[in-house]
Structure 1
């Protein structure tokens, strides 16, 4: 049922109970974990997929990055429009069905184009989740209590990638001793094919659960007199008029995405530089991500809520900046360490910085965005950082490695990337603080009217 919030003056509604709000957060977090496992698993199965399908590194690069990004990024805006009007739990359910089936179908791919199209559909399905999730979380908790639930949701990034890394490491070990497994209806499947089925099909049950979850009532206390309605045009106009505000702090999140997606080359970097086999890296990385990522985003969320309640209105932005200052040097230094153990220890600090930015960027975004366009602005945010991360991260490292430093020196390409993209947002931090506080004043003035 469509809900056009611009048609009538909205009535103020009460936030759901804490129990209801946290149940929704937990279910959305589980969905996000599923989505990230389905997204991340491909990068750990590159070698067996290349061997069976006869693909090149260039083709694999297109499947990992652009194939997923084409619709994950571009579908976000129209889906954000839908989020601001329709039942969000059903949108999430439909998305889970699509990406789960597409992930399983990836295991049946017989050619580059089969795999490319399957990964495109994974992107379509996953594009539904975060705009819907952030809209519902914002409608479930008042601003001073959003830090923790958002951080719990964002922790799924580390949980999902950690679980996927462990699964991938186990598959790589298994693949060395197993050629194929007979599966009813599908015949003999290679270990990598069975992996896609194993991580994809359970999502169908989760999709069914979301069909029956009650979503929170839309909060209507954050209307903005600068908005005539809640169309895509209204959202784009609102953001474009505040491009300094949104652009400066979102640029830090975009660099985070570039660095995070470029780390798909870390298994190869550790193997070529220090001799760690990919399965060893995957297992160690999985354990570390499961520990450092969720702990960081939860602690950061608690601090954000406490600072906000103490009157520090830009708490989320301050924590984002701290994370950024941690992330940039810890992405560079590991590449020059003498041993893999020291290198990975520093990368654990990098995981902390990335996790802080992941949680606080979206918290900061919600604080300065009116409720009637929140779904679309969140979709724009994910579109921006996803396009940056998927198109610039892996491709830049690959180009620098092949054309500049030589593939045996891939560590230098990894070290150059944070310098190349990270310096300008670092210099813009004073402007980010200035513009962000000005927008907070505007939002406060609107609510006082």
Structure 2
């Protein structure tokens, strides 16, 4: 490990080394850097569309395939998450040691084809397998993208870069429900115009085939970006044991080195990951059941739900991410990484309250008004998580440590969140508002954990 194990007082850090918050002004990014962020954000949007489109189509899929709520929750949660977990470690290794650019491009082609495959399934097993294929392909996006951003973006601009990248999650989800709803409505209105076999195909199948097919050419955009050669970084934050892999006599680019580094800095990684896992569980539960809950509680069609949810998702989360990213960069000048943890705590508090209260709104107007406000916070902590992780983690370990984090998020967050809501609903609640009440119970029970995690990080930074 070259720079990562060098003395803290080295006078000539590498071009990618972190000199510490507040030592350089926040400058304008060059065109190549902006294009790189744009392409990665586009790929993130594509992944979010393919991941989220199924939640809009829960009710027609359930009716056509004869699935239960628990089976649906396994498809949207566990099937995706388990495959995502299985392929995340290999993706993290490739991101650090091979071509992160080709990793993300290849992942995009895989998840697009598997989304098309979801549209031709006829039973639970087939849908589970195809959905798992989507999860396997999407295992590439976060390790690949975060490793590229860690390598290519200077520390003083990372808050904005991570904020922009994480905007892709909600923009993609908004496209999934907004455009997806309009697409399903258009297919339903015009299906007879095609005649023959097309008139007998369910609109949700056509929608999945179209959405998946679009991703194949879009993924080729990854071939147009340029990535700087990997260089080790030497974070200056106090308490970071940068020489842990060297002391362990480990290969500095192996998973063994990553595990030693995590162990040596567990006072940082433990609260960061506990906070992030709890936040992921809450957001996965909320996102997975929100459309179905709105349709059941207020009798909305898939098209009306898509327009209503998509409009909110297209605006408010992006505003929260923009403000969050800029605040992290600005506060970093005076507060260092404590500024990022403060921004994260504020965002996590807002979503804790929002996710608990939104399902309890009794009228359609009150529901969507509260939803618009809560969406301001639903992704606001994400730039803080990424900024803190990238500031402490050496560049040559970023893909691997990110992949380890994603496994925790997948096992304890994405896989459990939607299914936990279904289990609470099916076993402890009844009536038309069972899902809504289950969502509030889960949100209230776990939403405080991310807040406490961010506050705990302020004590070790």
> Structures share a fold, TM > 0.5?
yes
Q: Which residue of 1 aligns with 2:25?
A: none
- Asked if the contact 1:178–1:191 (Cα under 8 Å) also holds between the matched residues in 2, the reply is no
Residues of 1 paired with 2:371 and 2:4: CA distance?
A: 50
* Secondary structure, counterpart of 2:377 in structure 1: helix
Bigger drift between 230-239 and 148-157 goes to 230-239
Q: Which residue of 2 aligns with 1:415?
A: 440
1:412 is displaced (CA, Å) by: 1.8
Q: Which residue of 2 aligns with 1:433?
A: 458
Task: Classify 1:195/1:335 alpha carbon distance in 2 versus 1 (closer, same or farther; 3 Å).
Answer: closer
CA offsets 1:257-316 (integer angstroms, 9 cap, x no match):
222221222233334444444432321110111011112212211111111134533222
Residues of 2 paired with 1:7 and 1:319: CA distance?
A: 28
Residues of 2 paired with 1:245 and 1:221: CA distance?
A: 17
Q: Which residue of 1 aligns with 2:330?
A: 306
Q: Which residue of 2 aligns with 1:253?
A: 276
Q: Which residue of 2 aligns with 1:73?
A: 85
Unaligned runs of 5+ in 1: 438-449
Bigger drift between 311-320 and 121-130 goes to 311-320
CA offsets 1:329-366 (integer angstroms, 9 cap, x no match):
11112233342222322222222222111222112211
Equivalent position to 1:394, from 407, 411, 418 = 418
Q: Which residue of 2 aligns with 1:447?
A: none
Task: Classify 1:316/1:283 alpha carbon distance in 2 versus 1 (closer, same or farther; 3 Å).
Answer: same
1:187 is displaced (CA, Å) by: 9.9
Bigger drift between 48-57 and 157-166 goes to 48-57
Q: TM-score of the superposition, structure 2-length normalised?
A: 0.86
Equivalent position to 2:45, from 20, 33, 41 = 33
Residues of 2 paired with 1:114 and 1:303: CA distance?
A: 45
Q: Which residue of 2 aligns with 1:12?
A: 14
- Asked if the contact 2:341–2:454 (Cα under 8 Å) also holds between the matched residues in 1, the reply is no
Q: Which residue of 1 aligns with 2:24?
A: none
Alignment of 1:11-410 (within 5 A): 12-13=14-15, 18-174=30-186, 176-177=188-189, 189-222=201-234, 224-228=242-246, 229-263=252-286, 264-410=288-434
Q: Number of aligned residue pairs: give it.
A: 433
Task: Classify 1:353/1:183 alpha carbon distance in 2 versus 1 (closer, same or farther; 3 Å).
Answer: farther
CA offsets 1:39-75 (integer angstroms, 9 cap, x no match):
1111111222233333333322221111111121232
Task: Classify 1:121/1:338 alpha carbon distance in 2 versus 1 (closer, same or farther; 3 Å).
Answer: closer
1:206 is displaced (CA, Å) by: 2.2
Residues of 2 paired with 1:243 and 1:145: CA distance?
A: 26
1:171 is displaced (CA, Å) by: 4.2
What RMSD in Å do the two structures reach over aligned CA positions? Answer: 2.9
- Asked if the contact 2:4–2:243 (Cα under 8 Å) also holds between the matched residues in 1, the reply is no
- Asked if the contact 1:330–1:350 (Cα under 8 Å) also holds between the matched residues in 2, the reply is yes
- Asked if the contact 2:358–2:370 (Cα under 8 Å) also holds between the matched residues in 1, the reply is yes
1:163 is displaced (CA, Å) by: 0.5
* Secondary structure, counterpart of 1:152 in structure 2: helix
Unaligned runs of 5+ in 2: 7-11, 18-27, 236-241, 247-251
Task: Classify 1:237/1:334 alpha carbon distance in 2 versus 1 (closer, same or farther; 3 Å).
Answer: same
Residues of 2 paired with 1:14 and 1:188: CA distance?
A: 57
Bigger drift between 219-228 and 26-35 goes to 219-228
Task: Classify 1:248/1:119 alpha carbon distance in 2 versus 1 (closer, same or farther; 3 Å).
Answer: same
Residues of 1 paired with 2:388 and 2:191: CA distance?
A: 49
- Asked if the contact 2:3–2:13 (Cα under 8 Å) also holds between the matched residues in 1, the reply is no
- Asked if the contact 2:92–2:403 (Cα under 8 Å) also holds between the matched residues in 1, the reply is yes
Q: TM-score of the superposition, structure 1-length normalised?
A: 0.88
Residues of 1 paired with 2:453 and 2:380: CA distance?
A: 19
